[in-house]
Structure 1
Amino acid sequence: MTTLENDDLRVTIRPKGAELTSIFHKSSGIEHLWQADPTVWGWHAPNLFPVVGGCLNNQLLIDGKTYPIERHGFTRQSTFETTESTQTHAIFSLRSSEATREHFPYEFEFQIIYEIEGPKLTVTYRVVNEDEQTIYFSVGAHPAFAVPFKAGEAYEEYFIEFEEAEPLETHMLSSGGYFTGETKAVPTVDGNRLPLTKHLFDADALVFKNLASRRVTIQSEKHDHSLSVEYSAFPYLGIWAKPGASFVCIEPWLGCADSEGEPKPIQEKEAIQQLAVGKVFDAAFTITIR
């Protein structure tokens, strides 16, 4: 386990999946990360690579061949190497191997970089193309934040505030987790507040593909303590909780699940990223507690 610490935060990350396991805010004494109750949802904050969401038939189609791939990819189950660690900064690395090539035939290094400064945690995804051809991938985050923040509070006292007042339209998912092509309006309060309820996610995640907002904030009606996620590099945003659970996931994505129909080659998948030979890809998001 790796620990980062300053006057405001104590953050822990485990080697499996290079996954955050704690974001503790010192002055308030609040643990902001869901503690992975296995009877409800046994993850804290999985990192998603080389796919986001589900692929049709649980397969990737690359250069005419199919490769088995699980929902959200294999890195959340992979053990990362810690290549750098200071009091406030750590780098975790996963390199291509015989095991990864069974699912994703490219040569790569996938780094996850964590850094704290004051009450802000920055998470950077870095992909290095070590292949002799262009590689294609998706990447995303899935952190689950504990709600309510304090004992004695109710989940329904909380809301998500979007940076911009804008109409919210979610892209509907089938029971298998694939996009159906349908959309649905999501009601808000004052144009930018999404009230949290235990039934908000009964039909699966809310998936937004065209937001103007580049920041969302989890807030309470009863006090000013808040947690913001800023995701300027990520065009898609998922918001999800297991119905009835005491958390909400704020999920910046560069990629998304497949749509129902016929599988497409990886380079034709929606929101797929491509990286030329020898190039490096970076995308970061931040979590700030106030």
Structure 2
Amino acid sequence: MAIMIENQKMAATINEHGAELVSLINKTNGKEYMWSGDVKYWGRHAPVLFPTVGRLKDDTYKVDGKEYHMGQHGFARDMDFDVLKVEDDQVILELHSSVQTKQLYPYDFILRLTFKLTNNGIQVGYEVENPADEEMWFGIGGHPAFKVPMDRNHFYDDYVVKLKPQTVRNVIPLNGSYADIDHLKEERTSEIEVSRERFKDDAVILDLGEEPTTITLTDNDQRHGVQLKTEDAKYVGVWSCYPQEGQYVCLEPWWSIADTVDSDQDFKHKFANNHLGAHQTFKTEYEVDVF
């Protein structure tokens, strides 16, 4: 079922399946900013990535010597969430560990997503609670896909992704589906031009160092676009399909990353993974403003 929320300026639709934001509309001009989810190119809109981001080595990992199997980006995006709270301009959705999830992931958890409209966009909050007496490890991230082009006056390759502040960041290459952290490239990357060829090797991944960062996707005239703001994401992935010509670009704030090339597949050793002690809670958010 889809839940609609709105305020005076913005309207959004969130699916209970996957707790996925599927529509974000500026009511002033009627403009839709989210990708349509055309299955010919990529059938999702903004999946939540939990309890892992990216691909595990051979889709396999171990906890305390026991082997588990889990697909790319985890399972939360394919599960039905419970509706915890609905107001005019916000909704809170929740997913609990279950017999089904324990087959894929051994930990007890409570995952909450909060969607709250602002004057110019939406805040997306993540909360991971460990209800157990034992510690847990997890990854989490966002994968929102934005419509490109955003108007009739521009084409796909008229767009650019800009990052602020302008600073030196590590660019993390992928070796197949895995993070190749032994071959980091240190670059003063403040702009990423959008083109099909730019994504021929998959996502462009930047290390944000858990520092406040604004990532803007806009046309070269800066007429329309989106700004994604994060205070503490570890990485951002910028991605679109290749060689297919899907009309979207994803700005993906991540608090984890795919397995490294040399991963030993022990989930407790996983590079950039997150840890929660017994009965602890992890909270973070990102915000999207539209113009």
Q: Same fold (TM over 0.5)?
A: yes
Moved more, 262-271 or 14-23: 262-271
Q: Which residue of 2 aligns with 1:208?
A: 206
Contact in 2 for aligned 1:160/1:194 (Cα 8 Å) = yes
Contact in 2 for aligned 1:9/1:23 (Cα 8 Å) = yes
User: What secondary structure sits across from 1:266 in the alignment?
Assistant: coil
Q: Which residue of 1 aligns with 2:90?
A: 89
Cα deviation, 1:10-55, whole Å, max 9, x if unaligned, reads 1001111100110111122211100111000111001000000001
Contact in 1 for aligned 2:135/2:275 (Cα 8 Å) = yes
Q: Which residue identity is paired with 1:72?
A: H
Cα deviation, 1:232-270, whole Å, max 9, x if unaligned, reads 121211111002321110000111001123423212111
Contact in 2 for aligned 1:60/1:68 (Cα 8 Å) = yes
Q: Which residue identity is paired with 1:194?
A: I
Q: CA deviation at 1:184?
A: 4.3
Cα deviation, 1:42-101, whole Å, max 9, x if unaligned, reads 110010000000011211211111111110000011110111001111110100100000
Q: Which residue identity is paired with 2:54?
A: G
Contact in 1 for aligned 2:169/2:207 (Cα 8 Å) = no
Q: Which residue identity is paired with 2:108?
A: E
User: What secondary structure sits across from 1:227 in the alignment?
Assistant: strand
Please tell me whether residue 278 in structure 1 is matched to residue 271 in structure 2.
Answer: no
Contact in 1 for aligned 2:51/2:138 (Cα 8 Å) = yes
Distance in 1 between residues matched to 2:9 and 2:264, nearest whole Å: 47
Instruction: Quickly say closer, same or farther: Cα 1:168–1:154, change in 2 above 3 A.
Output: farther
Contact in 1 for aligned 2:208/2:233 (Cα 8 Å) = no
User: What secondary structure sits across from 1:285 in the alignment?
Assistant: strand
Which residues of structure 2 form unaligned runs of 5+? none
Q: Which residue of 2 aligns with 1:178?
A: 178
Q: CA deviation at 1:185?
A: 6.4
Cα deviation, 1:123-167, whole Å, max 9, x if unaligned, reads 111011111201110100000001111124111221111112234
- Correspondence list, 1:1-40, <5 A: 1-40=2-41
Distance in 2 between residues matched to 1:277 and 1:208, nearest whole Å: 31
Distance in 1 between residues matched to 2:175 and 2:146, nearest whole Å: 25
- Correspondence list, 1:180-195, <5 A: 180=180, 181-184=182-185, 192-195=190-193
Count of aligned pairs: 286
Q: Which residue of 1 aligns with 2:231?
A: 232
User: What secondary structure sits across from 1:28 in the alignment?
Assistant: coil
Distance in 1 between residues matched to 2:58 and 2:128, nearest whole Å: 26
State the TM-score, normalized to the length of structure 2. Answer: 0.93
